[in-house]
Amino acid sequence: MKLTPVERLFKLFDETALILQEELDCTYIEALAETGENLFHDDILQESLSEVTRKRLKRKYSDIIIASIGAEDIRKAFQLAILKGMKGHIQPNHQMTPDTIGFIISYLTEKFIGAKTDLSILDPAVGTGNLLSTILNRQGNISQIRSYGVEVDELLIKLAYVGANLQKQQTEFFHQDALEPLFIDPVDLVVCDLPVGYYPNDIQAGQYELNASKGHAYAHHLFIEQSVNHTRPGGYLFFLIPNGLFESAEASKLHNYLKRTVYIQGVLQLPMSLFKDKNAGKSILILQKKKPGIEAPKEVLLATLPKLSNKEALDKMMLGVEKWFKENK
């Protein structure tokens, strides 16, 4: 049976990462980043490898011409390999935004942005880059895109960098705490799967309006404020938020901040079937930064997405979304 391009490329990522994992005595994920670098540079960069191992790798790399594979197939294959490497990891910051959610956010960003020839986009918690790459691969009508990703985890940002190179995406990455000062000009669009939890740096948190009244601040609140700060007036922000975002002890402060700085365009609750635990349920929050001449929508787009396998219910919901756009945008 003939393998698809995604299956062939995943097989290559997997087999060469396993070889490098054993030879370099590192984790599978670290080896995956190394083999991705080799593929991009069309060379074997690890100087410590034996000649026998180098020949094994060269034979495998010669089986695929990476330039002949589309960006979306590369993204999917690389994502599958990352997911394999992350099995058993319990770090919450090592979770990847699922494809399904990436596709929904991609669709929504296209609808809100409309016809543009130039776009700047920022993901301040870029992780492995899967959400950002999913969106970039679906912006074919935009001739010039400037994209930026910020990530504090060294391994995750290396994976994001390798993945972007393989997909020929010209993303500029910043390895830093995104809640420290960012040397990035305001952008047209922010997308972010918000890191949920407490932010331990109380001194830095003190620079934000949404700092906690007492104790540690919520990192997800500070990420929202930082993102608004780095969005142009009139620009859009798409956040993946916990369903209980507006129910915490600091919710009133967040609500007042949003009321003053942005217009809430929509809140779409994702189907619970996407989450193992109902307490882990999430929604997509859509904001537009205030600007003279821009008004709030007549009504906020509110929807609960059905199971994506329920085509009839999904089509009905999409018709409702289209109707909302005609009446509000």
Assign residue 64 the CATH number of its domain. Answer: 1.10.150.470
Residue-wise pLDDT for 263-311, tens only, equals 999 999 998 877 777 778 899 999 999 999 999 999 999 988 888 778 8
**Mean pLDDT for the stretch of residues 70-97:** 80
Residues 187 and 268 in one domain: yes
Residues 81 and 190 in one domain: no
Q: Are 118 and 189 in contact (CB under 8 A)?
A: no
Q: CATH number, domain at 201?
A: 3.40.50.150
Q: Which of 133-142, 168-177, 251-260 has the lowest mean pLDDT?
A: 133-142
* Structural domain span for residue 33: 5-86
Query: What does the alpha-carbon distance between residue 223 and residue 210 come to, in Å, rounded to a whole number?
Result: 10
Query: What does the alpha-carbon distance between residue 61 and residue 26 come to, in Å, rounded to a whole number?
Result: 20
Domain end marker among 86, 102, 133: 86
């190179």: which residue's tokens? Answer: 165
Report pLDDT for 306.
83
| Consecutive H or E run containing 57 | helix 51-61
**Mean pLDDT for the stretch of residues 68-77:** 94
DSSP type of residue 242: E
Q: Could you give the number of structural domains in the chain?
A: 2
pTM, two decimal places: 0.93
Residue-wise pLDDT for 1-42, tens only, equals 788 999 999 999 999 999 999 999 999 999 999 999 999 999
Residues 199 and 220 in one domain: yes
Burial of 294 (0-12, 13-18, 19+ CB in 10 A): exposed
Residues 125 and 264 in one domain: yes
Residue-wise pLDDT for 103-121, tens only, equals 889 889 988 987 777 899 9
**Mean pLDDT for the stretch of residues 150-158:** 96
